[in-house]
Structure 1
Amino acid sequence: MTYRYDADLVAAAGNFGVFDLTDPRKTRASLIAASVGKPAPDTTGVEVTDLEVPGPQDNPGVPVRVYRPADMAEDLPAVLNIHGGGFVIGRIEVDDHTCLDIARRVNAVVVSVGYRLAPEHPYPAGLEDCYAALEWLAANAGELRVDAARIAVHGISAGGGLSAGVALLARDRSGPELAFQYLDLPELDDRRDTLSMARFTDTPGWNTPNAEISWRHYLGERAGGDDVPVYAAPGRAKDLSGLPPAYVTALEYDPCRDEAVAYAENLFAAGVPVETHVFSGAYHLAYLMPTAKVSLRRAEERITVLRAALRG
């Protein structure tokens, strides 16, 4: 198809062949190799600590990276960050810049989760790791100098879907009370039956074939079937009442666009305060071009929204 991409994104559109999810191990290795030699992120004003926190019952510990504004003089809000990667790739490091930006400009403690990846660890492993990290964050709020009443969950792409799943689990398990959920380009529905999924079969890096592969790695043969839990695919959830306020983003040329918009509409219908924004001219991996105007607007809006949600 012909797409009217934003001018800042046209030149980069052909650069995403590395995101081939048919062989996750090979792709992970390629991404790590591509990162060698790149400068470390500027951590000025932020203390960064790597920890391992208790995992789900009878499972390994979960690595987390804590970003703490230096010279904290008060208990701060916190953001649990969950990286993207189609449930099968991605590492804590890929979100360093985003987490540092949130820590500095929202003045919040950020806890980023290194959850287990499919297909080696299919659902519910990754989701349960993220939920265990949330429980640890809430239980250790005093030591972390965090205000337990102001904890948000934030995720991009598959991380957005996992964030929605964490919010559902926290509600249904009477777990830590979340103040906000920020679902950025979320991957939410394994059924893949929307217009955007039917249409965007050849968009850069992330497209309908990749979405199908991603869900099959994560859910196995039951992907698209009748027995998929709502925590795995929150787009299937019938009852969204009692969830925290939300901000949901989508991109015009993203196969996940319509499921994100539908989830926002369903949150509205359930009486949950929601704001949603569909950014025009952009495809799913536009967020990897941080200097594009649309990416700068998304980044700025993230800070504005999180400040309003967590700091009033």
Structure 2
Amino acid sequence: MELLVTIFLVVLTLFVAMVFYYEHPTAKIPPGFSERKKLYAFHYIMNFGFGMAIVLEKLGIMSEVSFIRTVMDGIPPPKDKHLIITDLVFEKVEVRLYQPKTSTTGQRRGVLYFHGGVGRFGSIRAYERTCRYLSRKTNSVVVSVGYRLAPEYPYPTQFQDCLTATIHFMKTAQDYGVDPSRIIVCGDSSGGTITAAVAQALVNRRDVPKLRAQILIYPFLQAADFDLPSYQQNAKIPVLIRERTIILGLKYLNKDLSAVNTLLKGTHVSAERRQKYQKWLSADNIPHEFKTRGYTPPGPAPYSEELYKLAKPFLEPLFSPLLCEDSVIAQLPETFILTCEYDVLRDDGLLYKKRLEDHGIKVTLCHLEEGFHGTIFLAAYGKVVTFQSGIKGLEKITKFLRLM
């Protein structure tokens, strides 16, 4: 019996691998990319993982989200002799606190980290290495927020948990040796979305100190235009291909996946809204050097009221922080934005940079010429999966934090 089960699993594995190899042969890696083979291998493994998750769910063995969460969590690193690591609860939100053991004069800076994963994946454990690295290298108290995930806890629970944890930490910062005036919020990918939304939610609060800064690592910042130069240029470049971006967003909001193609065309945005967004969300605001790999301005898309009703949450500032009103943008703290050349979300970061600077906000941009979506997450792991772009990006982030 055990032999039959083993044979079945081997055959299943090979089947899934073959299916997803042939389903995604169009993935394109730039010819001049210096770590081309490694990126292709990583992309193939990711496709295999997503495929395996779907098959296991259909067989009733394990749900798709459970499988991907398990894979992302991986094997936890060994104990860290340089840090005191404590699991706590901030107003019913699970967090993990990282405190350097080294002595220091005065209070440390505090960093709240919101992990990526499109609101459905990721965890404190998955980002253990990243948060340890930031705490050690910057002598900071880092708080990794274990916000609840969809679909068990529907959107916007994820934002609410992060905001709750942030406010609690800001009010009790001194209990952890943190200067309340030196608190930074930070996140990658969808965690960057949450970071931007939390920073916006705090600007008018008078019961907590002002944030010192926000760090947005290849953030998703708008769902109104999926035809920006970066979306066109990187549509088939690993790891976050264009169609997958929309599919993951629809799954996060528990929406009908059949809307993918019409969303890509922008039929959920009316002419009136498009006109309003034009000053913030236009390819004209993106520097010319980011269009040299090709860009064709899209024609007008027919508006669908039905699709707008389906996608309405996509256009709310909570989901698309780039679409927030000027009165809020003008009060945001100093900002660090990391973008990657080979990432569909690149232009979200570039557009947000311009919008912030137009309102007098100081912005530090770190653009990784060979960067791709997820490279920072991988940077804290061993040489086998680490890319040079991720190492460079982490160094830039730590350098910025040390100045705060």
Q: Normalising by the residue count of structure 2, what TM-score does the alignment of the two structures yield? A: 0.69
RMSD across aligned C-alpha pairs, in angstroms?
Answer: 2.4
* 2:116–2:189 contact (8 Å) kept in structure 1: yes
What's 1:90 paired with?
122
* 8 Å contact from structure 2 (residues 100, 139) kept in 1: yes
Aligned to 1:234: 321
* Secondary structure of residue in 2 paired with 1:6: coil
Question: How has the CA–CA distance of structure 1 residues 89 and 30 changed in structure 2, closer, same or farther, with 3 Å as cutoff?
Answer: closer
Within 5 Å, which residues of 2 pair with 1:1-312? Answer: 1=28, 3-4=30-31, 6-13=33-40, 14-17=44-47, 18-19=49-50, 25-33=63-71, 35=73, 38=75, 40-54=77-91, 61-73=92-104, 74-174=106-206, 175-193=208-226, 194-221=228-255, 224-225=311-312, 228-239=315-326, 240-290=329-379, 291-308=386-403, 310=404
Larger Rg computed on CA atoms: 2
* CA distances 1:39-74 after superposition (whole Å, capped 9, x unpaired): 5244121000111110xxxxxx11100001115443
1:281 CA displacement: 2.3
Q: Distance in 1 between matches of 2:317 and 2:345?
A: 17
The residue type paired with residue 177 of structure 1 is K
Q: Give yes or no for contact 2:107–2:179 (8 Å, CA) kept in 1.
A: yes
Native 8 Å contact 2:65 2:120 kept in 1: no
Greater per-residue helix proportion: 2
**Judging changes above 3 Å, is the alpha-carbon distance between structure 1 residues 270 and 29 closer, same or farther for their aligned structure 2 residues?**
same
Unmatched 5+ residue regions in structure 1? 55-60
Query: Aligned AA for 2:237?
Result: T
Q: 1:39, 1:93 → 2: CA distance?
A: 7
1:120 shift after superposition: 3.0
In the TM superposition, residue 168 of structure 1 has moved relative to its aligned partner by 0.2
Shift of 1:209: 1.6
Looking at structure 2, the residues matched to 185 and 34 of structure 1 have their Cα atoms a distance apart, in angstroms, of: 19
Q: Structure 2: which amino acid aligns with 1:51?
A: L
Aligned letter for 1:272?
I
Q: Deviations over 1:217-247 (max 9, x none)?
A: 3345556438732122102123210100001
Question: Residues of 2 paired with 1:261 and 1:274: CA distance?
Answer: 11
Q: State the Cα distance separating 1:8 from its structure 2 match.
A: 2.4
Using CA pairs under 8 Å that are at least 6 residues apart, name the structure with larger relative contact order, 1 or 2. Answer: 1
Taking structure 1 as the reference length, what is the TM-score of the superposition? Answer: 0.88
Partner-residue secondary structure (3-state), 1:149: strand
| Mapped contact 1:16–1:204 kept (Cα < 8 A) | no
Deviations 1:258-292 (A, max 9, x none): 11110111111111000112211232133344232
Q: What is the rounded CA distance, in whole Å, between the counterparts of 2:150 and 2:242 in structure 1?
A: 18
Question: Shift in Å at residue 306 of structure 1?
Answer: 0.7
**1:58 alignment counterpart:** none
Shift of 1:75: 1.6
Note the residue ranges of structure 2 that are not aligned, 5 or more in a row: 1-27, 256-308, 380-385
What is the identity percentage for the equivalent residue pairs of Structure 1 and Structure 2? 27
Q: CA deviation at 1:5?
A: 5.7
Q: Which residue of 2 aligns with 1:57?
A: none
Number of aligned residue pairs: 302
Cα offsets for 1:142-192 (capped at 9, x unmatched): 211110000000111111111001100011344441000010100111224
Alignment-derived partner of residue 278 in structure 2 = none
Structure 2 CA distance for partners of 1:34 and 1:65, relative to 1, 3 Å: closer
Aligned counterparts of 1:9 and 1:165: Cα–Cα separation in 2: 35
